[in-house]
Chain A
Amino acid sequence: DAGITQSPRHKVTETGTPVTLRCHQTENHRYMYWYRQDPGHGLRLIHYSYGVKDTDKGEVSDGYSVSRSKTEDFLLTLESATSSQTSVYFCAISEQDLSSPLHFGNGTRLTVT
């Protein structure tokens, strides 16, 4: 799995609570990404990072924030979870931002009740 660890693997939380998902990589890749995967949709980009402290929004960033204080760690925070954020979240890394494949972690299944 290209040295990518996501934690936790599963989480159930209540509406309105904050949640933080963690992605840790051992590949020293510059680029890191958070995606969500829902039935009927392809992977959708939430936020991405192109270096320590350098992040930007993706297609579905509303309700999410990220932080990257070290090359190896990329955190995704749901400030106040909603039921629409029930999903499977994948972290990915790549060596380059253009024309190179992504390597994914095994995901976090988040259920917001």
Chain B
Amino acid sequence: GESVGLHLPTLSVQEGDNSIINCAYSNSASDYFIWYKQESGKGPQFIIDIRSNMDKRQGQRVTVLLNKTVKHLSLQIAATQPGDSAVYFCAEDSSGGYQKVTFGTGTKLQVIP
């Protein structure tokens, strides 16, 4: 899961296995959620988003699950590849524009070849 500490939590996964990265969000009024991937030395890259009227959304090899009851978001990556190694973080939007968006600090995914 995500942390506000200085050291990012790390998830180590064997190549080919599935990865699950978790995010606990804070604002029950948030109605739009986004997952970003950030590789070393690069800017965050949009992966997938979900609106609060859904509880699951699938993309290519990625699935986002939303549990509004416990304010929990997860990103599942199928058949994890070395290129998936990066920091992943979620963002929550309470429809107040980007001045109201909160970004998590991230989870580092390490793929073991």
Identify A1's interface contact among B31, B43, B95, B105, CB under 8 A.
B43
Determine the main DSSP class of A at the interface with B. Answer: loop
Q: How large is the interface on A (under 10, 10 to 19, 20 to 34, 35 or more residues)?
A: 20 to 34
Task: Report the number of A-B residue pairs with Cβ-Cβ less than 8 Å.
Answer: 63
Task: Tell whether, in the assembled complex, residue A102 and residue B99 are in contact, meaning their CB atoms are under 8 Å apart.
Answer: no
Please state if A43 and B44 are interface contacts (CB–CB under 8 Å). yes
Range for the number of chain B residues in contact with chain A? 20 to 34
Contact stretch, chosen from B13-21, B45-53, B56-64, B68-76: B45-53
Binding site for A on B (CB under 8 A): 4-6, 31-32, 34, 41-46, 49, 51, 89, 91, 93, 95, 97-99, 101-106
A residues apposed to B, CB below 8 Å: 1, 4, 31, 33, 39-45, 48, 56, 58-59, 90, 92, 94, 97-99, 101-107
List the 4 closest A-B pairs by CB distance, nearest first: A104-B43, A42-B103, A101-B46, A43-B103
